[in-house]
Amino acid sequence: MRIREALNAFPMFYPGCPLNFLYEQTPEINASALPLLKQTLDSLYDRGGTPATFTQANAIYIAFTIDMLKVCAGLALANFPAIEALPHTEESKTIASGVRAAVNAFSRQEDHGLSRRWATYFWKRGLDLEACELRAGMME
Amino acid sequence: MTENVAGFHDRLTKIVEEFVSNARAELSQRWAAWSVDITTPALHEVLGGLLARQVTLATQLARAPQTWNGHVAPLSLRAMTDGYITLAWILECPATRCDQYVKFGLGQKKLFLEHWKVHLTETGERNVENHPVIKAMEQWLNAERFHFLTEVSVGSWSETDTRSMAEEAGCLDLYRFGYAPLSAAVHNMWHHVIDYNLKTCQNPLHGSHRVPVDPDLAIDPDYLYRAAKYLDKSFRLFDRKTGVSVEVTRSIDALIDALNDALNTLNDSLPDPDMRGAPADNPAARAPE
């Protein structure tokens, strides 16, 4: 139920999302869903920031749980759960660096067909959903 | 405050006119002080003409404050750096290089004439040789050198590249920090376009793509300063190489003093220190050239 709530912007605005099978019916569009998605997305653009690092850590966590990823004892990633303390401990920051590096390695392994199709669809759909937002002022 | 800004603009107009007047005086006094050898007119015409061209580029930019921005000013400033390198390279060996410079220019004019002839023939003109455009151009060319004796060369007039010219003439810094970066605007290169004609969309749904824009830019007197600086460099190069010495107000000195006075007056009238501008000559804020 909580997962459905968290992801409900996708069935509302992205009918081609591969996770829409989680919903028996397309939820009704509510006014706060898209702004919330934008806010979340905005927080992820800084790849080294805490929200984006936790997002990448999720991928690493899944890789650990399905035995896709194994690391040697003594490496920062070996104490992966300590990332929970990010950004308050030095150890969590070190693990965060390992997470970002590992994600790079995964994302370059192969051309993930489904993931790529979803990513392409997601960004194209974004252009249909809303107009561009240009900051006022002459130049950045 | 609006009155002060308007007052600053009036003052800027006067500063520009004073700069134009000083720059022209610098040129005319040098010409007057230079012992012209009438048996080698090309040498004096080429060097004098190139120096005058630098004055024209600087004064035309000065009189058009709307062009003191990153869109347009580099077009003039790049031409000035090119003019300086050309002048410096010719001055390394004036006797042969002046001739080389002249002949290449005439060859280009002749090439233009030949293109016209082909175009007129292809568009059905029956009497190409008597066409007024052809006659005017041939007359122009013959006044310089019989056009049938003029050779058309392709490639560079100096038979080398600008970087090598700058290196040989001892002005590689100007090439690296002036000519090359200013070329980005002249040739519409990516690192110019990305800064001046694209803006990143802030909509998080759009993946930080860039959108084409034609932004108005604020007038930046630094571009006037740079034009004055390149002109001053050209004058000093000329003096050094020809031995000409003149007692004349340096247009750049007068410009810097006047800009600083005007800026200080304007700054004193502004209530908020954050709105105040920097002095006109702040070497620490600038690249070597």
Encode pLDDT of A14-57 as tens digits.
Answer: 999 999 999 999 999 999 999 999 999 999 999 999 999 999 99
**Of A140 and B89, which is predicted with more confidence?**
B89
Q: What is the ipTM of this complex?
A: 0.86
In three-state form (DSSP H/G/I as H, E/B as E, the rest C), the secondary structure along chain B is CHHHHHHHHHHHHHHHHHHHHHHHHHHHHHHHHCCCCCCCHHHHHHHHHHHHHHHHHHHHHHCCHHHCCCCCHHHHHHHHHHHHHHHHHHHHCHHHHHHHHHHHHHHHHHHHHHHHHHHHHHCCCCCHHHCHHHHHHHHHHHHHCCHHHCCCCCCCCCCCCHHHHHHHCCCHHHHHHHHHHHHHHHCCCHHHHHHHCEEECCCHHHCCCEEECCCCCCCCCHHHHHHHHHHHHHHHHHHHHHCCCCCCCCHHHHHHHHHHHHHHHHHHHCCCHHHCCCCCCCHHHCCCC
User: Are B186 and B78 contacting, i.e. CB atoms less than 8 angstroms apart?
Assistant: yes
Chain B interface includes A127 (CB < 8 A): yes
Nearest to B204 among A45, A127, A139 (CB): A45
Contact B207 A133 (CB under 8 A): no
User: Could you tell me the two tokens for B221?
Assistant: 């007197």
Among B205, B208, B211, B216, pick the best mutation site for testing chain A contact (most A Cβ within 10 A).
Answer: B205
Q: Annotate A42-108 with DSSP letters as a single string.
A: HHHSSTTSHHHHHHHHHHHHHHHHTTS----TTSGGGGGGGGGGTTSSHHHHHHHHHHHHHHHHHHT
φ and ψ at residue A26, rounded to 5 degrees: -65, 125
Q: Which residues on A lie below 8 Å from B203 (Cβ)? A: 38, 126, 130-133
B99-114 average pLDDT score: 92
Whether residue B225 has pLDDT greater than 70: yes
Whether residue A140 has pLDDT greater than 60: no
Query: Quick one: pLDDT at residue B269?
Result: 79
φ and ψ at residue B35, rounded to 5 degrees: -75, 100
A64-89 average pLDDT score: 94
Confidence of residue B285 (pLDDT cuts 50, 70, 90): very low
Q: What's the rounded Cα separation, in Å, for the pair B98 and B43? A: 6
Burial B174-196 (b: 16+ CB within 10 A, else e): bbeebbbbbbbbbeeeeebeeeb
Nearest to B205 among A38, A135, A140 (CB): A38
Confidence of residue B276 (pLDDT cuts 50, 70, 90): low
Chain B interface includes A84 (CB < 8 A): no
Nearest to A140 among B200, B205, B207 (CB): B200
Confidence of residue B7 (pLDDT cuts 50, 70, 90): confident
Among A135, A139, A140, pick the best mutation site for testing chain B contact (most B Cβ within 10 A).
Answer: A139
The whole-angstrom distance between B194's CA and the closest CA on chain A is 11
Whether residue B279 has pLDDT greater than 70: no
Whether residue A100 has pLDDT greater than 60: yes
User: Of A21-25, A96-100, A116-120, which gets the smallest average pLDDT?
Assistant: A116-120
Whether residue B183 has pLDDT greater than 60: yes
